Amino acid sequence: MEALPQTSQEYGPRLLADIGGTNARFALEFAPLQYEEVQVLPCADYPSLAQAMRAYLQRMHVRLAGRSLRHAAIAIANPVDGDAVRMTNHHWAFSIAALKAEMGFDTLLVVNDFTALARALPHLSAAQLQQVGGGAPRAGGVLGLIGAGTGLGVSGMIPAGQRWIALQSEGGHVSFAPADEREIAILRFAWREFPHVSAERLLSGVGLELIWRALADWRGVSFQSAPAAPHITAAALDGSCAISVETVDAFCAMLGTIAANIAITLGAQGGIYIGGGIVPRLGERFAQSAFRQRFEHKGRFSNWLAQVPTWVITAPYPAFLGVSVMLEEVLGEG
């Protein structure tokens, strides 16, 4: 367990946000790592992040009861480098300084969402994790993180004495590498539309739809368009669509290969954590999938990977934990 930073001042209220390409999640924090009043707002319903933020705060006016909201932290699904932020999988773009001034905050921290999720890992309890397969964490080992949702997030936690350092990674954009004939067919289909097929192009919500179309084409099944990703996962879980079942099976296997690549690249003997919006909803279907088999299928490194545990993060809104810790560090240094 990572020690919490020293509380910098009288606590709260603080605004926490986790902004993805599809949904904006907001919460209020009145005590360390104790967030409440969580609401999920569809990004498409608001022209800008500022307007979504104001809509949430307007709903919270009774809860805030006139208390000043001075500090805020945002985890967002794209790189954060400098003042200008432009989302990768949505049209929102903003200046951090301008948003801070517009909202009247004393402090506005904006970080990559998977950097924030990585910072949450040491604060997750066993009850908030579901292990898939075998292996046991090595004490003090590097932690790896991957998660599929609107995009594919990647990060890691590197031990540094008594602290952890979270990686700012865009590893979801590495080139996709097929592992069998079916995945070669999927890649060939994807190449018809995209000159570069990244891991995220397939291991994401739109990726599920692309895999579905590719498999339907490969199997000679005629179709007008692919179902939306939520319908694909639902049909896979209830077995009502054979192509959807195969799509989710292929998705889980592909994720196993990419997760293993991250484990080897980082030397993540502390384990690999799986977040994002897709896998936790698959439940037992994911646990029984080819994910773990493919995770360990790495030639000379198969035995090494067999010792690395993999967990699905089942905690609701875990990025709030990480962004809360990061905000407290900033305030403690101020």
6: pLDDT strictly greater than 80: no
Region 177-192: mean pLDDT is: 97
* Angle in degrees, CA 259, 263, 267, rounded to 5: 170
* Angle in degrees, CA 313, 141, 136, rounded to 5: 60
57 with 135, same domain: the answer is no
| Number of CB atoms found within 10 A of residue 117's CB | 26
Region 122-148: mean pLDDT is: 95
252: pLDDT strictly greater than 70: yes
- pLDDT tens, residue by residue, 44-62: 999 999 999 999 999 999 9
Tell me how many domains the chain contains: 2
- Give the structural domain span for 56: 14-119+317-333
Residue 304 lies in a domain: yes
Reported confidence tier of residue 3, pLDDT bands at 50, 70, 90 = low
Q: Structure pTM? A: 0.89
252 with 308, same domain: the answer is yes
213 with 145, same domain: the answer is yes
138 with 98, same domain: the answer is no
- pLDDT tens, residue by residue, 199-228: 999 999 999 999 999 999 999 999 988 999
As a dihedral over the C-alpha atoms of residue 270, residue 276, residue 277, residue 281, rounded to 10 degrees, the angle is -10
Helix (H) or strand (E) holding 312: strand 310-313
Average pLDDT along the chain: 94
97 with 165, same domain: the answer is no
CATH number, domain at 195? 3.40.367.20
230 with 109, same domain: the answer is no
Residue 239 lies in a domain: yes
Residue 7 lies in a domain: no
Residue 92 lies in a domain: yes
88 with 170, same domain: the answer is no
Residue 6 lies in a domain: no
153 with 94, same domain: the answer is no
Residue 5 lies in a domain: no
Dihedral sign (CA 35, 38, 41, 46) = negative
176: pLDDT strictly greater than 60: yes
